[in-house]
Amino acid sequence: MADQASVLSDWVGYGVFVTYMSGPVLDQDEPTKSVKGPPETITASFLLEKCGDWGIEVKRSADTPTTFMSWGAVLYIQGPPPEVRKQIDAETAKQSKGNSAN
């Protein structure tokens, strides 16, 4: 995983697209009840918070809790290329400067 870790570590703190396997959704009214159904593949955008030997930690937005995804469920991760990260960093720095001036 050494090669993957270096690529993923570059993407920590940025938005990524993750394709992963998921099972059926639990019944909110009976969360302890077992649910059976076919698995499905889902692709969604996330903020990559951490990556490690067991999987990744991601958030859908700043207002949502962190979710752990094991490597057994993750099929694909696409992060921003270096030039996009540089642009994001420049925009973030510009916004931070503007906010500190207030």
pLDDT digits (tens, 9 = 90+) for 43-95: 999 999 999 999 999 999 989 999 999 999 999 999 999 899 999 899 988 88
- How confident is the model at residue 62, as a pLDDT? 86
Using H for helix, E for strand and C for coil, what is the string for the chain? CHHHHHHHHHHCCCEEEEEEEECCCCCCCCCCCCCCCCCEEEEEEEEEEEECCCEEEEECCCCCCCEEEECCCEEEEECCCHHHHHHHHHHHHHHHHHHHCC
Domain residues for 69?
Answer: 2-100
pLDDT digits (tens, 9 = 90+) for 3-27: 444 789 999 999 999 999 999 988 8
Is the alpha carbon torsion for 10, 76, 38, 44 positive or negative?
A: positive
How many domains does the structure of the chain reveal?
1
Could you identify the residue written with the tokens 């930690």? 57
